[in-house]
Amino acid sequence: MAALGGARRRPLLLLLLGLVHGAAAVFVVKDANGTACIMANFSAAFMASYDTRSGPKNVTFDLPSDAAVLNSSSCGKENASDPSLMIAFGRGHGLTLSFTRNATRYSVQLMSFIYNLSDTQIFPNASSKVIKTVESATDIRADINKKYRCVSNNQIHMHNVTVTLHDATIQAYLANNTFSKEETRCEQDGPFPTTAPPPPPHPSPSPAPENPPVYKYNVSGTNGTCLLASMGLQLNVTYKRKDNMTMTRVFSINPNKTTAGGSCSPQLVTLELRSESIPLLAFQFGMNASTSRYFLQGIQLNMTLPDARDPTFKAANSSLRALQATIGNSYKCNAEERVQVTEAFSINIFKVWVQAFQVQGDKFGSVEECQLDENSMLIPIAVGGALAGLVLIVLIAYLIGRKRSHAGYQTI
């Protein structure tokens, strides 16, 4: 693995303002004949949350200029494996982009990040020294024989890690051993005149709108309400169709066509959502009595995909740590949060406001805001401070100039 070298932790505020970006680097994957099949040129910044003995801590760092392409990167094999770009840096950290394609487009189907908590330069005082992996689907896609181009920041949320790509040029399935002249621009750089994409071959369940509807759910037991949750839900599901083509589709939860239920127990609260095409979508909230905190610890999905090779899709994960807050308080986040459940399933949660266990009077308790919302509040403050500082500098320069001009005259 390449040495960490130029990696530097950046102030979170500068990272969010887009004023600081790591140096862009070019990464190339070649086949056995030396022909390039994947090229990527981008800078990347990482924001990660990890546990220390004194509590959770956030850290930011850049992809260093000496990050290297691993030999385990691959151009893929027809009907056997997909291409992948694997980038290594520091003391055991790695970023992987896994590609897939259909007849007209290719995409980064999955981005994964491996990080080593024993690296004290990046994760000082970490309470654990293990190597962890997070992953997420992405919106990086382009037409075949065109490069993907995105000057704007593109954030990929992977559980407790957010990767921000900047000024990115990426292309897989290269035809001429280098980037194509034609390009597909990302939505973040828009707007661009486009034609509406054709509808999916099977409209049930319906493709999700951009913003799913927000709905308030509650779960009650013998001792009263144990869960309040207000949120919009969007499912990202990757599966193989009957023609063996890999598909990633997005579905929204329609509250008007969904029944809600659940259960309460001293250590576990469960919210269960059911509809015609989704027999079960369950959210399980657990608690840590020693830290007096609750969190989303499990998600389970059973749904029907009529065009899938296996129409019954199932996914579950009971070791999550999302939507965390102190017992008695509520967790709130206006920003979109993505929770990666399995490699093939993730869920986008919009405008979430949730409280589990000690719910008093069927009302949300004191709010604990998510890190993304807190960071967004810093931006106008920083901009205002920068403008005030600029005005002050101009004023001081003006006064100094006046003083010098008066000093140039002598009394006769």
Q: How far apart are CA 378 and CA 161, in angstroms?
A: 20
Predicted pLDDT at 341: 93
Tell me the mean pLDDT in the region 220-227: 91
- Name which residue leads in pLDDT, 275 or 7: 275
Residue 20 pLDDT > 50: no
Residue 266 pLDDT > 50: yes
Predicted pLDDT at 37: 93
Residue 325 pLDDT > 90: yes
Predicted pLDDT at 367: 94
Lowest model confidence (mean pLDDT) among 52-56, 70-74, 259-263: 52-56
What pTM did the predictor assign?
0.46
Predicted pLDDT at 395: 81
The CA-CA-CA angle for residues 19, 20, 25, to 5°, reads: 130
Residue 145 pLDDT > 60: yes
Q: How far apart are CA 91 and CA 122, in angstroms?
A: 9
Tell me the mean pLDDT in the region 361-388: 73
Question: Could you please report the per-residue DSSP string of 293-336?
Answer: EEEEEEEEEEEE-TTBSSSEEEEEES---EEEEETTSEEEE-S-
Q: Does a cis peptide bond (omega within 30 degrees of 0) precede residue 205?
A: yes
Question: Where do the domains of the chain lie, and which CATH numbers do they carry?
Answer: 25-187 (2.40.160.110), 215-371 (2.40.160.110)
Summarize the chain as % helix, strand, coil (round to 5): 10, 50, 40
Predicted pLDDT at 407: 53
Tell me the mean pLDDT in the region 260-287: 93
Predicted pLDDT at 92: 92
Residue 4 pLDDT > 50: no
Q: How far apart are CA 65 and CA 155, in angstroms?
A: 20
At 398, give phi and psi (nearest 5°): -65, -45
Predicted pLDDT at 210: 64
Q: Is 215 helix (H, G, I), strand (E, B) or coil?
A: strand
Q: How far apart are CA 253 and CA 234, in angstroms?
A: 6
- Name which residue leads in pLDDT, 334 or 384: 334
Q: How far apart are CA 85 and CA 105, in angstroms?
A: 18
Lowest model confidence (mean pLDDT) among 18-27, 111-120, 302-311: 18-27
Segment 67-89, tens digit of pLDDT: 999 999 999 887 677 899 999 99
Tell me the mean pLDDT in the region 264-283: 93
- Name which residue leads in pLDDT, 104 or 372: 104
Q: Sorting pLDDT into bands at 50, 70 and 90, what band is 215? A: very high
Predicted pLDDT at 189: 83
At 236, give phi and psi (nearest 5°): -110, 115
Predicted pLDDT at 397: 77
Q: How far apart are CA 133 and CA 112, in angstroms?
A: 7
Please, is 68 exposed, middle or buried when counting C-beta atoms within 10 Å of its C-beta (0-12, 13-18, 19+)? middle
High-pLDDT (> 90) share of the chain, %: 53
Predicted pLDDT at 248: 85
Tell me the mean pLDDT in the region 290-317: 92
Q: Is 372 helix (H, G, I), strand (E, B) or coil?
A: helix
Predicted pLDDT at 322: 92
Predicted pLDDT at 403: 66
Predicted pLDDT at 373: 60
Q: What is the mean pLDDT of the chain?
A: 83
Predicted pLDDT at 206: 42
Predicted pLDDT at 17: 38
Segment 376-409, tens digit of pLDDT: 555 566 666 777 778 788 788 777 777 665 555 5
Predicted pLDDT at 389: 74
At 134, give phi and psi (nearest 5°): -125, 155
- Name which residue leads in pLDDT, 319 or 19: 319
Please state whether 159 falls in left (phi above 0), alpha (psi between -120 and 50) or beta: left
Segment 146-173, tens digit of pLDDT: 999 999 888 888 878 889 998 999 999 9
Predicted pLDDT at 408: 52
Predicted pLDDT at 14: 39
**Number of neighbouring beta carbons within 10 Å of residue 4:** 18
